[in-house]
Amino acid sequence: MKIREVARLMGAEVLCGEESLDLEVTRAFAADLMSDVLAMVQEEGVLLITGTVVPQVVRVAEVMSMGAILFVRGKRPSAATVNYAAEVGIPLLATDKIMFEACGILYSRGLLPAKRKALPRENGPRD
């Protein structure tokens, strides 16, 4: 799905990355905990849906080569964080929708969940 389409469906404000809106995000992953993002996301170009706005979110996305970040629940990162994301080329979107609705709408429009990466000694049933 094109980032532009994500922004449209979410009624999102584009905080940075206007020039990248025609790029595609491959899949989506929703979490507020960065540990989960670092532990679970396997491929590049994933859309991160999060309600966490600390500067580390953009750094995690950078390290994981993610496609874009969608901030939910009306949260906005600081100007410094937006500037950093613009510098490293990660588009940031912000919507007032709650994470549940953001996931629901994008999933219903065919955006697939990120492929997961199993940890070797994961607690609980395995795939």
Partner 1 sequence: MAPATKALYKQVFPVKSDLESAGKVSTEVRRILRSLGVEPEVVRRAGIVCFEGEMNIALYTKGGRIILIVRDDRVELLFSDRGPGIADIDLVKQPGYSTAPDWARELGFGAGMGIPNMEANSDRFVMYSRVGVGTVIRATIFRRCHETCGGNRAPGT
Partner 2 sequence: MKLAEVIERLGLEVLVPGDLERRVRWGFCSDLLSDVLAHAQEGDLWITHQRHLNVVAVAKLKGVAGVVCVRGLHPSQEVLAKARKEGVTVLASAEDAFEVAGKLYGLLSP
Q: Please choose which of partner 2, partner 1, none residue 114 contacts, taking the beta carbon within 5 to 8 angstroms, the exact cut-off set by kind.
A: partner 2
Of the candidates 55, 16, 56, 25, which has an alpha carbon nearest to the alpha carbon of residue 38? 56
Q: Please choose which of partner 2, partner 1, none residue 22 contacts, taking the beta carbon within 5 to 8 angstroms, the exact cut-off set by kind.
A: none
Q: Is 54 in the site for partner 1 (CB under 8 A)?
A: yes
Of the chain, the end-to-end C-alpha distance in Å amounts to 26
Q: Please choose which of partner 1, partner 2, none residue 30 contacts, taking the beta carbon within 5 to 8 angstroms, the exact cut-off set by kind.
A: partner 2
Q: Which of 20, 29, 67, 76 binds partner 2 (CB under 8 A)?
A: 29
* Tokens read off for 6: 């994500």
Give yes or no for a contact between 47 and 113, defined as CB atoms under 8 angstroms apart.
no
- Of 16 and 67, which has the nearer Cβ to partner 2? 67
What amino acid is encoded at 61 in this protein?
A
- Give the containing element (helix H, strand E) for 92: strand 92-94
- Contact residues for partner 1, defined by CB under 8 A: 32-36, 38-39, 44, 50, 52, 54-57, 59-60, 62-65, 88, 119-123
